[in-house]
Structure 1
Amino acid sequence: MTRPSASFDDSGLFRVLFDMAPDAMIVVDRLGTIMLTNPQADRLFGYPTHALHGRPIEDLLPATLREVHVAHRTQYMDNPRVRPMGAGYELTGVRADGTVFPVEIGLSPAQVGGKPLFAASIRDISETQRARQALARARYDTRVADISRRILLAATHDAAMTEIPALIAETLSVPTVAVLLVDPHGGGLRIAAAVGVDDPMRILLTGLRGSQAGDPPPRDDLDGGLVTRTPLGANAATRPALDAVLALLPDREAPAGYLAVVIPQTETFDRDRQHFLQSVANVLSASIQRGRSEEQLAHAQRLDALGQLTGGIAHDFNNLLTIVSGNLQLLEWDLEADSSARETIASASRAVERGSTLTRKLLSFSRRQRLNPQQVRTELLLADLSEMLARTLGERIRVVADCPLGLPAVFADPGELEAALVNLALNARDAMPRGGKISINARLHEQTMDGGDLLPGPYVVFTVVDSGVGMLPDVLSRAVEPFFTTKTGGKGSGLGLSMVYGFVKQSSGKLSIHSEPGSGTRVELYLPSVEYRAAVAPAADIVEGDETVLVVEDEDEVRRVAAFFLRRLGYTVIEAGTAKAARTAFDDHPEIDVVFTDVVLGGTVTGLDLVNEFQRERPGLKVLMTSGYEYGAPEDDRRRMGELELLRKPYRREQLATSLRHVIDGG
């Protein structure tokens, strides 16, 4: 290699090269004092020429990083074996006007006149970083779209959820990701899906709690408060200190849970990663809500189908009971003097009553039971009920009732409401074979918006809580289905909760059941509330009469029994087995005073259609309806029945006489 001539000025050449270097060049001494800068460094950091000379190098860093940089610089410069650090070390610089920007640094030691100096080449990488961020964001967006597609195509959100942690872990290059859902029963967090979670990590993640159950205490709020970073703790034997980055899974009323990413406390989690995590959390939350809505719809449809089936069975069975009961009463009339026959008839009649009670429960579930809603004083109901239950449930069961003073009255059928609460108390007792506590309380709930099951307005909520064995999820999902029971043979029909469900829904309320194995069961009944006003007792009814009655009934045996009853009571009876026959009879007999008709007539014309037509022709015509349903046909409800009185099958002659007289006399 040819050396330059001695006349060549090396120092001048080096100075020219130093000043012309494309990168910013800064030379500092062992104490970090800036000794020399080139024009590019002055321009990059926004200082006049030579203004940086004599200043500490930390002046070019944000205030939050200066103390840490002093420690790192000192450790590097004091190392006797210090070597060039090379390019690629990224830092954050700050200009004279306070602007923060990313830089890449290369650092090399030098000895000048026996004095250690350190030369740094600095490059602004704002554009490079922006390009990197754009690529990362595009990759994140692509992954979010992929996750959304997978969730959409999955059979259930649970199936899709199992894939998500691994996809997030791959995208963010982290080992541990978990979906944490708030347990609606225990109140803590449970892991629904995860990757990289062993038993110690499971304990750390499910142990996250805050002021509210399942709400982890944030250390740093990120991404507008939707993402939090909180200390997770460490296993001293195997792990460094860890943080959990938690993206909120939003839900209608309270968070459904969190999407958790576990990282070392020393690792940064930039805003792009936060935004990606929250975007996935939003998609997952929407899937969870959709899945829950689909489950609720399927459950409601299943119960509605069961309701239609049980209602139809109850209707046909009531017709049969009416025939049996009617013929027993005819025998009772004919054999009044025969005491042995009366006892036999009474036994058979009691069996009919038990059958009628069974169909009433079925109709209650199918929401076709005829209710008599009234104002019920909540505090008096609970006081009487708690006293009665304390005596009947046994010494091993402690009953505690609580009702705030001044709670509004509830608008419901008092007998059915009491039966519903008793049913719940009996179920609670059966769930505590070794004894325990049953809490029954009431509170006011104001529904401010349409909640699907509840219309806006005030409701009284009755809550029955036990400390029993609880229910498994599959049992809980079928708890209100008729004839479903976990009790052994002879100890339950499976109609208790189904009857409660039907009564509450028919009363324009809502039934809510929460249960967990080993943690007891909580049942809530939402019923409309009203301001209490004292009721007026009705006047007594007259039993017999001599009017002309048109009896319309498609079941021949039922019609025969009804006609016989009415004739024995003094009425003139005209019979019709179809709507067409009733139309003819009505035209031929203008002397008809009252029409007694079944709602379901076996054809396209119902009893309601028939009487509406008759009343248009003869305003003021008296009508008494009857049906094996509590309301009438499935397509009929209380609104269509209007002011018409309905006599439920099976009926006794006394009930028929009273109802008919009540209609004729305008009661």
Structure 2
Amino acid sequence: MPLTDPSASDTQKELLLAESQISTILAIAADAIISLNENMRIMLFNDGAASMFGYSKEEIIGQRLDVLIPERFRGTHHAHVAEFSRSPVAARRMGERQEIFARRKDGTEFPAEASIAKQEIDGRPIFMVVVRDVTERKRAQAELAKANSELEQRVAERTRELEAEIGRREATQAALIQAQRMEAFGQLTGGVAHDFNNLLTIITGNLELVGDATDQPASRTLLKRAADAADMGAALTKRLLTFARRRRLSPQVLDLNELVLGLMEILKRSIGEPITLTTMLAGNLWKTKADPSEVENAILNLAINARDAMPHGGALMVETRNVAASALPFDGAGGEYVLLSVSDTGEGMPPEVIERAFEPFFSTKEPGRGTGLGLSTVYGFAEQSGGHATIQSAVGRGTTVTLYLPRADGELDRVASASEAVPLSEANEVVLVVEDNAEVRELTLQRVEGLGYVVLEAESGPAAVRILQSGEHVDLVLSDIVMAGGMSGYELARWIGEHVPGTRVVLTTGYAAEETRHDPAAYGGNPILRKPYKRAELAVSLHDALHRD
């Protein structure tokens, strides 16, 4: 009986066990495990490889590795294998080489990663390759990249939206601050104009009385200078009230094209020869409703400002255009507007000047060359007319001031010229003067009496009511609107309409916030005489009120 070597038997068992384990690993591995000989022919092809490439072991064993590589990559693959064969490196793991593509039996390609190792057995090189299909990973990476790109795009869009929203809010905040500043200026200037008009009423009235009492040429010359200065003061307060939006306008339905064409000769004379004047008037221009005298003043103011900004000549253009609600640069509450703009090619304004250009008394002109009320008056007129005013300007590129006036439907109104006659009392009618300012009241009594009327006086609305209740005959009440005593001129007019309807009423005011808040028609539609007024204006108002139907 031959003797057996126990150690050899154990080694054989271990080898069989190792082969069994390797076979199990090859069978269950999801990756493709391929063994190649020195000629790159396939010697081993596990189940994972068969599943991945679609070949059975019988079909693929003995085939060259090229059948598993797309044709366009075979030349590059051969070079890499030859380089690897010559190198001292025994193995290259996945990820150490660039991405490769493999080819299935049906011809489809897929991205893959591969590890390769080499060894020599009996002097012959043997290669072992492990291939992993990374299609799903690539798809996941692509989806992740797409999601990241979409997220970045959404973030960028949202950032732009937020920036735009911040810009809109900042613009709105700036507009609100500007509106508050302008409202504060309006209240201040309106109050100043109110008191100033009372003073001017006393000045102009007394100048008229003195003028009637003297026939000396030298004295009349001095009186005329004083009266002219008072008229300039009245014009100044009128501008202040227009800016403050405290002066009741006389709006009419207008065709701005006709109004602009009617001003061309005046404009040409105002701006001088070195400046070229052109117009761009829209056809089929909508009608607008505004005070025609204020529109004319606005155009003249803007033209004169443009002239001063072009001392060496340039171009001035007046433009009209219809503007739909969607094209407005401000919140127009969905309305349609008629645009009137005046553009020049002058010096222009920097941003800090544009920001303050509409403020009253702000001027960049030399002292004595401007009051700083031109643009502020234009702004106040536009706002009070239910519109808006804007400025666009750049240093060295000129300025454009644009008025947006609300569209109006209807035919053009005829403008009636004021009578220059000074009618006197025809039947010694009795006029009750109601005024809380003693000096203004005394002056008014003299002026009314000078027109041939019998005058009575009252220092307040309640005092006037007591006189009327006493049975005293009164043909007309001439009353200030804003008075001490707890009763305004409007309230007095309403009381008269209810209790002594045969008595006529004329209201006066130098500045009345109530005038802009109330419709005079609600108090009988009584006429309003605005201070400071001339003797002729007073005479016409009293006469018309007494003789109207």
TM range (shorter): 0.7 to 0.9
Distance of 1:397 and 1:390 partners within structure 2: 9
Question: 3-state DSSP class of the match of 2:473?
Answer: coil
Q: CA RMSD in A?
A: 4.4
Q: For 2:94, which of 52, 75, 86 is the aligned residue?
A: 86
Larger-Rg structure? 2
Distance of 1:28 and 1:367 partners within structure 2: 98
Residues 1:272 and 1:542: Cα distance change in structure 2 (over 3 Å): same
**Does the 8 Å CA contact 2:33/2:129 hold for their aligned counterparts?**
no
CA deviation vs aligned residue, 1:544-582 (integer Å, no higher than 9, x gap): 233222211111111111111111222222211122212
Distance of 1:569 and 1:469 partners within structure 2: 54
- Equivalence for 2:534: 652
Q: For 1:463, which of 318, 331, 341 is the aligned residue?
A: 341
Q: For 1:285, which of 140, 164, 175 is the aligned residue?
A: 164
TM-score, normalisation: structure 2:
0.79
**Does the 8 Å CA contact 1:374/1:414 hold for their aligned counterparts?**
yes
- Equivalence for 1:121: 132
Q: For 1:618, which of 500, 503, 507 is the aligned residue?
A: 500
CA deviation vs aligned residue, 1:402-440 (integer Å, no higher than 9, x gap): 112332333222221111112112222222333222221
Distance of 2:256 and 2:128 partners within structure 1: 88
Distance of 2:541 and 2:200 partners within structure 1: 19
Between the two proteins, the alignment pairs up a number of residues equal to: 510
Deviation at 1:79, TM superposition (A): 9.0
Any unmatched runs of 5+ in structure 2?
1-7, 61-65, 105-109
Question: Is residue 352 of structure 1 aligned with residue 360 of structure 2?
Answer: no
- Equivalence for 2:213: 334
Q: How does 1:352-431 map to 2 (within 5 A)?
A: 352-431=230-309
Question: Is residue 444 of structure 1 aligned with residue 325 of structure 2?
Answer: no
Question: Is residue 519 of structure 1 aligned with residue 519 of structure 2?
Answer: no
- Equivalence for 1:167: none
- Equivalence for 1:108: 115
**Does the 8 Å CA contact 2:205/2:443 hold for their aligned counterparts?**
yes
Moved more, 462-471 or 356-365: 462-471
CA deviation vs aligned residue, 1:450-491 (integer Å, no higher than 9, x gap): 997534433210122222232221111111000111112122
**Does the 8 Å CA contact 2:33/2:128 hold for their aligned counterparts?**
no
Moved more, 449-458 or 649-658: 449-458
Any unmatched runs of 5+ in structure 1?
60-66, 97-102, 137-221, 224-268
Q: How does 1:172-571 map to 2 (within 5 A)?
A: 270-335=149-214, 337-447=215-325, 453-531=331-409, 533-536=411-414, 538=416, 543-545=423-425, 546-571=428-453
Distance of 2:237 and 2:74 partners within structure 1: 85
Distance of 1:586 and 1:371 partners within structure 2: 32
Question: 3-state DSSP class of the match of 1:270?
Answer: helix
Residues 1:543 and 1:129: Cα distance change in structure 2 (over 3 Å): same
Letter in 1 for 2:25: L
Distance of 2:283 and 2:126 partners within structure 1: 88
**Does the 8 Å CA contact 2:35/2:127 hold for their aligned counterparts?**
no
Residues 1:25 and 1:494: Cα distance change in structure 2 (over 3 Å): farther
**Does the 8 Å CA contact 1:628/1:649 hold for their aligned counterparts?**
yes
Question: 3-state DSSP class of the match of 1:80?
Answer: helix
**Does the 8 Å CA contact 1:26/1:37 hold for their aligned counterparts?**
yes
- Equivalence for 2:517: 637
Deviation at 1:498, TM superposition (A): 0.2
Distance of 2:75 and 2:350 partners within structure 1: 58
**Does the 8 Å CA contact 1:322/1:558 hold for their aligned counterparts?**
yes
Distance of 2:27 and 2:456 partners within structure 1: 121
**Does the 8 Å CA contact 2:460/2:487 hold for their aligned counterparts?**
no
CA deviation vs aligned residue, 1:108-150 (integer Å, no higher than 9, x gap): 34569879886432454599979x97xx9xxxxxxxxxxxxxx
**Higher RCO, Cα 8 Å, sep 6+:** 2
Distance of 1:72 and 1:550 partners within structure 2: 118
Deviation at 1:396, TM superposition (A): 2.6
Question: 3-state DSSP class of the match of 1:441?
Answer: strand
Residues 1:334 and 1:635: Cα distance change in structure 2 (over 3 Å): closer
Distance of 2:440 and 2:141 partners within structure 1: 88
- Equivalence for 1:17: 25
Letter in 2 for 1:107: A
- Equivalence for 1:246: none
Question: 3-state DSSP class of the match of 1:424?
Answer: helix
Deviation at 1:320, TM superposition (A): 0.1
Question: 3-state DSSP class of the match of 2:263?
Answer: helix
**Does the 8 Å CA contact 2:92/2:117 hold for their aligned counterparts?**
no
Question: 3-state DSSP class of the match of 2:513?
Answer: coil
TM-score, normalisation: structure 1:
0.66
Distance of 1:657 and 1:38 partners within structure 2: 121
Question: 3-state DSSP class of the match of 1:457?
Answer: coil
More helix by percentage: 2
**Does the 8 Å CA contact 2:248/2:515 hold for their aligned counterparts?**
no
Residues 1:111 and 1:407: Cα distance change in structure 2 (over 3 Å): same
Distance of 2:526 and 2:74 partners within structure 1: 92
Letter in 1 for 2:199: L
- Equivalence for 2:5: none
Deviation at 1:448, TM superposition (A): 6.2
Percentage of pairs with the same residue: 33
Letter in 2 for 1:282: E
